[in-house]
Structure 1
Amino acid sequence: MTRPGPSLLARAAALLALAAVSLSVSCKGASVQVKRSVPADLAVSAVVVYPFGFRWETPAWRAVELSQRLVDVALAEAAEQALFFGPTEVRVYRPDEDNAWAASDAVAVLAAYGVRPDSALVLRPRAEKRVQAGQRELVDSRGRTVGQSAQEAVTYLGTVEVLHPATRQVVLEVSGEAAADPFAEVTDEGADPAPELTLLMADLTREALKGLSGTLKPPRAPSPPVATSVAWVPWETLELGPELAARDALDAELLRQQRLRFANPGLEPAVLDTLARKPGGLYVRAAPAGAKLAAGDIVLSLDGRPVPPQALARTRLAPVPSEARVQQASGQIVSLVLP
């Protein structure tokens, strides 16, 4: 007796099951869960990174600066593979809606770069904070209770979700958790209020970019870089004005220094001191010989808008040049066409 082969519907169901892959990977000692259902024929030339979705109360600038840190991770991994847009470059009206093109003005932003809506992704980062509080008895050498101490254990649960708004499908989801270490040495003058969360989200973003391997396709061949190393002076992008105005002079200066340090992890204190006196923009630390920009320049704006790092990186892939307003090391302000 000959058995009939599987029906077309059954074969299709099997293929769909194979397409949605869930796996666990180890990332710097932490367990990371990856759910991947990226279509094999998906080609993407732009990624929009949403403001960070904190599931607890934080200042508005925190959602921007942590998301911007993830953009920096993406630029380090794939700056020549796609156009990246950060949390202040797109207005997001309803961040949890999967029809992101209707819930933001991203389509208009992408159109200026010749990117079709079906050739772009949205990266949505978010995190929850779980707190377990308790008390610990303190005993002396004779075993007698001599007091109590309060203890609080904080765990961050982070997720990076990659959405294809044209089909309203989440094509990739990477999640993990990290415990806060209350005894960790503070090395950044308190600039990062949640270093374990920052490290976790950076790792999840790198894992998401690995999951998109083969999917990112640059819209055109990149032009040579106009700068090889920059530092970000984030005053305008973070919109710190209202909070600075509400603080006394000492606290306001401390906040500025901390946000500058967070925006430029690992930067030498002497350079940070120099940047603290600069206007908002991108400070050029190094540039190729013969480039239009030189070390010591600060790019104040591109096409009349504030210039986070990804804006300068996009000039290498953009269909038309951008007009940059630049303060040169001499103090003179000039207009340049980039790239």
Structure 2
Amino acid sequence: MIHTAPIHRPHLALLLVAALALACRSTPYQVRSTLPETLGASAVIVAPFEFRWEEPGWRALELSQRLVGAGLAQAGDAALFFGPTELRVQRREDDGAWMPRDTVAVLASYGVRPDGALWLRPWAEKRVQSGERELIDTQGQSVGQSATEVVMYVGHVEVLHPATREVVLEVSGEATVNPYADILDEGADPAPELTGLMEALTREALRGVSGQLKPPRAPAPAVATSLAWAPWAVLDLEATLAARDALDAQRLRMQRLRFANPDMDPAVLEALARGPGGLYVRAAPEGAKLSAGDWVLTLDGQPALPQTLARARLAPVPVEARVQQPSGRIVPLVLP
């Protein structure tokens, strides 16, 4: 039992907030590296996120896609990025990581050898500490008890080299949940502290291997400068949406759009909700093949994802795109 010092009850919430703010301070990241100086990589494959607690399957995919976005922002011109639904790398507990033949074949189509790829494996565990606090008034009398619960996430990003089946870099860190934090995204992110931690760990891991990342060729000019993404081709939400009433299902769709497009203008999110899955072009360079208002539906017959469009700039051959123009007309384009 923890006894607090005698305080006025209106001050209690402020005291708890201050104590929790101290607990939520960032902790230094732990980095462990055995990175060979001779290692060179042209591709980064992000694995599905591994929750060490129960979560819906689509949560693992959408969080990994957020990490792909963090990777593209930091090193999109230095390497080909592949998301959790595109390429497979498997890990045997006693035998490191290895690539199936279909993954090797896709890498080869971009001119990347198996030893030129790295695998980012993100995972986290959740630690919960529970207890009770006895509340004392200014006369020293007990006025009741308050249950307390502190949730902390411990995140990891492992960088594996499948060709040698070795972990060449590992970054870890912690984030404590602040239950008093304002909810600014209408509940789109059920664990914002975890998301922020994993994005930071991903950036730290990519900084650690930045000297080894080498693009397979010089990138072509960008075909779009601002994109929004409707993730329906990646997230398997049909069963979940079918089990909810219409209002709740629409709310879940908007939340997933907001999570996939953090800080996006609400008007753009409304447009995404009414449109097809794929990439919505918000802005494009003058003279580019894409224009603001275009929807990129597919790339080489596959769902249009942020990383697939980014890879088109590094691809050895042009990519065939299906694009829906603002008029509704669907046209074929060759990118970049």
TM-score normalised per structure 2: 0.89
Counterpart position of 1:171: 168
Residue from 315, 333, 338 that aligns with 2:335: 338
Residue from 298, 303, 315 that aligns with 1:301: 298
Counterpart position of 1:201: 198
Structure 2 CA distance for aligned equivalents of residues 92 and 213 of structure 1: 21
Counterpart position of 1:43: 40
Residue from 115, 118, 140 that aligns with 1:118: 115
Q: How many residues align?
A: 312
Structure 2 CA distance for aligned equivalents of residues 67 and 97 of structure 1: 24
Counterpart position of 2:7: none
Deviation by residue 1:40-74 (Cα, 9 ceiling, x = unmatched): 11111001000001100101111011111111011
Deviation by residue 1:206-253 (Cα, 9 ceiling, x = unmatched): 111111121000001111111111011111111211111111111111
Counterpart position of 1:72: 69
Structure 1 CA distance for aligned equivalents of residues 292 and 33 of structure 2: 42
Q: CA deviation at 1:135?
A: 1.4
Q: CA deviation at 1:96?
A: 5.6
Letter in 1 for 2:40: A
Structure 2 CA distance for aligned equivalents of residues 81 and 172 of structure 1: 18
Judging changes above 3 Å, is the alpha-carbon distance between structure 1 residues 235 and 97 closer, same or farther for their aligned structure 2 residues?
farther
Q: Which protein, 1 or 2, shows the higher relative CO under an 8 Å CA cutoff with sep ≥ 6?
A: 2
Counterpart position of 1:87: 84
Q: CA deviation at 1:99?
A: 4.2
Residue from 113, 120, 125 that aligns with 1:128: 125
Counterpart position of 1:159: 156
Unaligned runs of 5+ in 1: 1-27
After TM superposition, what 4+ stretches of structure 1 lie above 4 angstroms from structure 2? Answer: 92-99, 102-105
Percent identity at matched positions?
Answer: 69
Counterpart position of 2:6: none
Counterpart position of 1:188: 185
Q: CA deviation at 1:162?
A: 0.3
Structure 2 CA distance for aligned equivalents of residues 317 and 338 of structure 1: 11
Residue from 215, 238, 242 that aligns with 1:241: 238
The worse-fitting range, judged by mean Cα deviation, of 98-107 and 203-212 is 98-107
Judging changes above 3 Å, is the alpha-carbon distance between structure 1 residues 128 and 105 closer, same or farther for their aligned structure 2 residues?
farther
| C-alpha contact 1:95 1:103 (8 A) present in aligned 2 | no
Across the aligned residues of Structure 1 and Structure 2, the Cα RMSD in angstroms comes to: 1.6
Q: CA deviation at 1:307?
A: 1.4
Q: CA deviation at 1:97?
A: 6.9
Given the alignment of the two structures, is residue 329 of structure 1 paired with residue 326 of structure 2, yes or no? yes
Structure 2 CA distance for aligned equivalents of residues 107 and 159 of structure 1: 26
Letter in 2 for 1:302: L
| C-alpha contact 1:228 1:287 (8 A) present in aligned 2 | yes
Structure 2 CA distance for aligned equivalents of residues 80 and 170 of structure 1: 24
TM-score normalised per structure 1: 0.88
Letter in 2 for 1:319: P
Counterpart position of 2:316: 319
